[in-house]
Chains A and B, each alone.
Chain A
Amino acid sequence: MGNTDTKRKDLILLAGFSAVVLLAPFIFGPVGAGYPDLLQKFAIFGIFAMGFNILFGLTGYLSFGHAAFLGVGSYAAVWTFKLLTMNPFVALSLAVLIGGLFALAIGFVCLRRSGIYFSILTLALAQMSYNLAYSVLTPITNGETGLQLAQSDPRSLDAMFGIDYGAVLPSSHLFGIDMTGYPGFYFCAVMFIACFYLSMRIFRSPFGMMLRAVKSNQNRMNYTGLNSRPYTLTAFVISGMYAGLAGGLLAVTDPLAGAERMQWTASGEVVLMTILGGAGTLLGPVIGAGVIKYFENIFSAFNEGFLLDVFDFLPEVIQHAAVSVSSLFVGEGWHLTLGALFMVIVIFLPGGLMEGINRLYRKFRPKGGSSDPDAAPAPAPAE
Chain B
Amino acid sequence: MDQIFLQVLNGLDKGGAYALIALGLTIIFGTLGVVNFAHGALFMLGAFCAVTVKALLETSKVTTDPTQLTAWGTPVEVRTPYIEAWLGDFGTLLVDFSVPASIIIAIPVMLLIGVAMERGLIRFFYKRPHAEQILVTFGLAIVLQEIVKSQFGANPIPQPAPDAAKGMVDFGAFIGFQAGSVVYPAWRLIYFLFSLMVIGAVFAFLQFTTFGMVVRAGMADRETVGLLGIDIDRRFTIVFGIAAVVAGLAGVMYTPILSPDYHMGMDFLVLSFVVVVVGGMGSLPGAVVAGFLLGIVQSFASMNEVKAILPGIDQIIIYLIAVVILLARPRGLMGRKGVMEA
Total A residues in contact with B, Cβ cutoff 8 Å: 48
Partner of A347, one of B124, B143, B316: B124
Q: Does B236 contact A (CB under 8 A)?
A: no
CB distance from B126 to the nearest CB of A (A): 9
CB pair B142–A335 under 8 Å, yes or no, is yes
Partner of B143, one of A127, A128, A135, A339: A339
Contacting pair B142 A342 (CB below 8 A)? yes
In angstroms, Cα B317 to Cα A132, docked, is 11
Q: B130 near A: Cβ within 8 Å?
A: yes
Q: Whole-angstrom distance from the CB of A268 to the nearest CB of chain B? A: 7
- The answer to the question of A362 belonging to the interface, with a C-beta cut-off of 8 Å to chain B, is no
Does B130 contact A382, Cβ atoms closer than 8 Å?
Answer: yes
**Closest CB in chain B relative to A348 CB, distance in Å:** 11
Partner of B129, one of A134, A136, A382: A382
The one of A113, A116, A333 that contacts B146, using a Cβ cutoff of 8 Å = A333
Contact B143 A340 (CB under 8 A): yes
| Cα A54 to Cα B325 with chains together (Å) | 28
B179 within 8 A of A: no
User: For the complex, what is the distance from the CA of A336 to the CA of B130, rounded to whole Å?
Assistant: 23
Select one of A125, A328, A382 contacting B323, CB under 8 A. A125
- A residues near B273, Cβ cutoff 8 Å: 120, 123
A56, A381, A383: most-surrounded residue (chain B CB, <10 A): A383
Chain A nearest CB: distance from B301 CB in Å?
12
Residue A205 CB within 8 A of the other chain = no
Binary CB contact string for chain B from 122 to 144 against chain A (1 if under 8 A, 0 otherwise) = 00100111111011101111110
**Cβ A117 vs Cβ B270 within 8 A:** no
CB–CB A115/B127 < 8 A? no
> Complex: how many Å from CA A56 to CA B320?
24
Q: Confirm or deny: B311 has a beta carbon within 8 angstroms of a beta carbon on chain A.
A: yes
Q: Which residues of A contact B340 (CB under 8 A)?
A: 115-117
A interface majority secondary structure: helix
Cα–Cα, bound, A132→B310 (Å): 12
Instruction: Closest B residue to A219 by CB, please name it.
Output: B342
B150 at the interface (CB under 8 A from A): yes
Q: Does A279 contact B (CB under 8 A)?
A: yes
Partner pick for B130 among A128, A272, A341, A383, CB 8 A cutoff: A383
Known contacts A339-B142, A343-B143, A380-B129, A117 near B311 by CB under 8 Å: no
Report yes or no: A117 in contact with B139, Cβ–Cβ below 8 A.
no
Contact of A336 with B326 in the complex, beta carbons under 8 Å: no
Say whether B139 contacts A346, CB under 8 Å.
yes
**Residues of B contacting A341 in the complex (Cβ-Cβ under 8 angstroms):** 139
Within 8 A of B (CB), among A171-222: 218
Pick the residue among B129, B139, B312 that contacts A342 (CB under 8 A).
Answer: B139
Is there contact, CB below 8 Å, between A342 and B135? yes
Contact partners of B341 in chain A: CB under 8 A: 114-117
Q: Does B1 contact A (CB under 8 A)?
A: no
Contact with B315, one of A109, A132, A340 (Cβ below 8 angstroms): A132
Task: For A343, list chain B residues within 8 Å (CB).
Answer: 121, 136, 139-140, 143
User: Counting CB contacts under 8 A, is B330 at the interface?
Assistant: yes
Chain A residues whose C-beta falls within 8 Å of the C-beta of B128 in the assembled complex: 350, 379, 382
Contact with B along A316-338 (1 / 0, CB 8 A): 00000000000010000101101
Q: Check B135 against A268 for contact (C-beta < 8 Å).
A: no
When distances are taken between beta carbons in the complex, the residues of chain A under 8 Å from B342 are 114-115, 218, 382-383
In B223-262, the 8 Å CB interface with A consists of none
For B142, what are the chain A residues with a Cβ–Cβ distance below 8 Å?
335-336, 338-339, 342
The answer to whether A128 touches B320 (Cβ under 8 A) is: yes
Asked if A235 lies at the interface with its beta carbon under 8 angstroms from chain B, I say no
* With A113-B330, A114-B341, A271-B134: A339-B323 Cβ-Cβ less than 8 Å: no
Q: Mark A265-300, 1 if CB is under 8 A from B, else 0.
A: 000100110011001000000000000000000000
Inter-subunit contact B322/A340 (CB<8 Å): no
Report the Cα distance A135→B311, complex, angstroms.
10
Give the complex CA separation of A114 and B332 in angstroms.
12
Query: Which residues of B have CB within 8 Å of A340?
Result: 139, 143
A347-B124 Cα distance, complex, nearest whole Å: 8
Per-residue CB contact flags for chain B residues 298-342 toward chain A (1 = under 8 Å, else 0) read 000000000000011001101110110011001110000000111
| A380 to B127 CA separation, bound complex (whole angstroms) | 9
Q: How far is the CA of A123 from the CA of B278 in the complex (A)?
A: 13
A271 to B136, CA, bound (A): 12
Contact A275 B132, beta carbon cutoff 8 Å: yes
Residues of B within 8 A of A272 (CB): 135, 138
A276 to B130, CA, bound (A): 14
Interface residues as binary, A223-257 with B (CB distance below 8 Å gives 1, 0 otherwise): 00000000000000000000000000000000000
B20 within 8 A of A: no
Contact digits for B45-86, partner A, Cβ 8 Å, 1 yes 0 no: 000000000000000000000000000000000000000000
Given contacts A117-B326, A335-B142, contact A136 B312 (CB under 8 A): yes
**Which B residues, 90 to 137, have Cβ-Cβ distances below 8 Å to chain A?**
121, 124, 127-132, 134-136
Cα–Cα distance between A351 and B35 once the two chains are bound (Å) = 18
In the assembled complex, B33 has its CB within 8 A of some CB on chain A: yes
| Residues of the A chain whose Cβ atoms lie less than 8 Å from the Cβ of B143 | 336, 339-340, 343
Residues of A within 8 A of B139 (CB): 338-343, 346
Residue of B131, B136, B320 touching A62 (CB-CB under 8 A): B131
The yes or no answer to A112 lying at the interface (CB within 8 A) is yes
Closest 8 CB pairs of A and B: A339-B142, A342-B139, A136-B312, A124-B319, A336-B146, A343-B139, A131-B315, A115-B341
Chain A interface residues (CB < 8 Å from chain B):
56, 62, 109, 112-117, 120-121, 123-125, 127-128, 131-132, 134-136, 218, 264, 268, 271-272, 275-276, 279, 328, 333, 335-336, 338-343, 345-347, 350, 379-383
Q: Which residues of B contact A (CB under 8 A)?
A: 33, 35, 121, 124, 127-132, 134-136, 138-143, 145-147, 150, 270, 273-274, 277, 281, 311-312, 315-316, 318-320, 322-323, 326-327, 330-332, 340-342
What are 25 sample pairs from A and B whose C-beta atoms fall under 8 A apart?
Answer: A62-B130, A62-B131, A109-B323, A117-B277, A117-B330, A121-B323, A121-B327, A124-B318, A124-B319, A127-B270, A127-B316, A128-B319, A132-B315, A218-B342, A271-B134, A275-B135, A333-B146, A333-B150, A339-B140, A342-B135, A345-B135, A347-B124, A350-B128, A379-B129, A379-B132
Q: A115-B341, A115-B342, A347-B136 are in contact. List 16 more A-B contacts (CB 8 A).
A: A112-B327, A114-B341, A117-B331, A121-B323, A128-B320, A128-B323, A136-B311, A264-B270, A272-B138, A328-B150, A336-B143, A341-B139, A347-B124, A380-B129, A381-B129, A383-B129
